[in-house]
Amino acid sequence: MKNVIARAAKQSTVALFLFTALILFGCAKKEPEVDFRPLQMHWVLAQGEDDSQMPHKDDCVILLTARLMAESPVQASTAGELSYEVTYGRSPKSSEIIEFEGICRDLSIMDKPECRWDATCDKDLKIVVKFHNGD
């Protein structure tokens, strides 16, 4: 029960951060303006990992989500709703880099270019996303 409450609290915190980021993105003047596509993200901590060892994880999650909403494969998707299961953990190359692996939860569209991607976020919050284009 304690784990369920803790997980719900973490998800609420992430949702609040995402909402705040979206408001800030909406207020900021940027060119060109991009329509953000809503996504459902289900975050899964990789086995053996510890959130406390990733102090910039929350910021990475917010920025990654915003970035994914604007990516061309996501924008061009014909799927009615995109929902990802995203596994994250520290990179074996550097503990200051967080690696994310996203897959569509709807297995019937797994061959679509927007359904498989990897991303990294470093301590400076630089996000790199690579789509696997149905591979």
pLDDT in tens, 76-114: 998 888 999 999 999 999 999 999 999 999 989 888 999
User: What band does 15 get if pLDDT is binned at 50, 70 and 90?
Assistant: very low
Q: Where are the domains of the chain?
A: 39-131
Paired strand residues for 9: none
Task: Print the SS3 string covering 67-101.
Answer: HHHHCHHHHCCCCCCEEEEEEEEECCCCCCCEEEE
The confidence score (pLDDT) of residue 38 equals: 81
| pLDDT score for 134 | 52
Radius of gyration of the chain (CA): 15
Report if pTM > 0.85. no
- What are the distances in angstroms from CA 98 to CA 11, 34, 51, 82, 90? 18, 26, 11, 23, 5
Is the confidence at residue 126, as pLDDT, over 80? yes
Task: Specify the 3-state DSSP secondary structure of 40.
Answer: strand
